[in-house]
Amino acid sequence: MRLEAENLAGERGGETIFSHLSFTIGTGQALVVTGPNGSGKSTLLRIICGLLAPEAGEVKLTEGTQIVPVRAACHYLGHQNAMKPALSVRENLLFWQKFNGGEALDIGAALEAVDLAGVEHLPFGYLSTGQKRRVSIAKLLVSHRPLWIVDEPTAGLDKASEARFAELMREHMRQDGMIIAATHIPLGLDGAISTTGNALVRSLDMAAFSVEDIA
């Protein structure tokens, strides 16, 4: 599987914030998107997963010679956790499992993977900020989609949870998944290489594609 972005431009509030942005990632690889606040990291991720239309350019996901709809192949984890506070943790994850399809881990196993075993009966709204984020990470595990698009995924996490999520990302890549992550802190993926010696993790600095810099 291969994802290509070609000459993307994105806008916010009617103003172009980045342009001439291109990249390619393949199976088992990750792209870490960095840059200052307002540089367009979140806008780029929303364009890639189809939540926003690009001002220019295109995003294409292919498997062999077949074009694959990005929306059908990706998990998107944004700033908001996208969970119903009044529903239990289990009910929220069950909704997303059915909505996304492609069942992977059962809910209990997914919660155990983020060190939240035993909370599935609690209302989501009762959880701490860090616990809520970990439930949202568990959402990535209860249904299989090859492309994870995650925006500041470690927000609210302690160091132990950050390390646990880094291992989950590495495992996803080992299983031929792809990851695009926007972050302002290291995610623990730096320096990963394939068995052939190729870099598995690439970085993209949004500052290099700002309209001001290009002009």
What single letter denotes the amino acid at residue 183? T
| 36 has a pLDDT exceeding 60 | yes
Domain positions in the chain: 2-214
Residue 19 is labelled as binding a ligand: no
In degrees and rounded to multiples of 5, residue 47 shows phi and psi of: -65, -45
- Position 105 scores a pLDDT of 87
Contact 38, 75 (CB under 8 A): no
Contact 83, 124 (CB under 8 A): yes
| 39 has a pLDDT exceeding 70 | yes
| 198 has a pLDDT exceeding 70 | no
**12 CB-side CA count, 13 A:** 13
DSSP state of 207: G
- Position 145 scores a pLDDT of 94
- Give the model confidence (pLDDT) of 63-74 as tens digits: 999 999 999 999
* CATH superfamily, region 2-214: P-loop containing nucleotide triphosphate hydrolases (3.40.50.300)
In degrees and rounded to multiples of 5, residue 39 shows phi and psi of: -80, -10
Burial classification of residue 110, based on how many CB atoms lie within 10 Å of its CB (0-12 exposed, 13-18 middle, 19 or more buried): buried
- Position 141 scores a pLDDT of 96
In terms of DSSP H, where are the helices of 105-145? 107-113, 129-142
Residue 188 is labelled as binding a ligand: no
Residue 198 is labelled as binding a ligand: no
Banded model confidence at residue 163, pLDDT cuts 50, 70, 90: very high
Residue 41 is labelled as binding a ligand: yes
Residue 38 is labelled as binding a ligand: yes
| 57 has a pLDDT exceeding 80 | yes
Please state, in angstroms and rounded to a whole number, the distance separating the CA atoms of residues 141 and 103: 9
Banded model confidence at residue 208, pLDDT cuts 50, 70, 90: confident
| 56 has a pLDDT exceeding 50 | yes
| 32 has a pLDDT exceeding 80 | yes
Residue 203 is labelled as binding a ligand: no
H/E segment holding residue 98: helix 89-100
Residue 36 is labelled as binding a ligand: yes
Average of per-residue pLDDT across 25-50: 91
Residue 146 is labelled as binding a ligand: no
Average of per-residue pLDDT across 86-96: 96
| 214 has a pLDDT exceeding 70 | no
Q: What contacts 145, CB < 8 A, 6 or more positions away?
A: 73, 74, 75, 100, 102
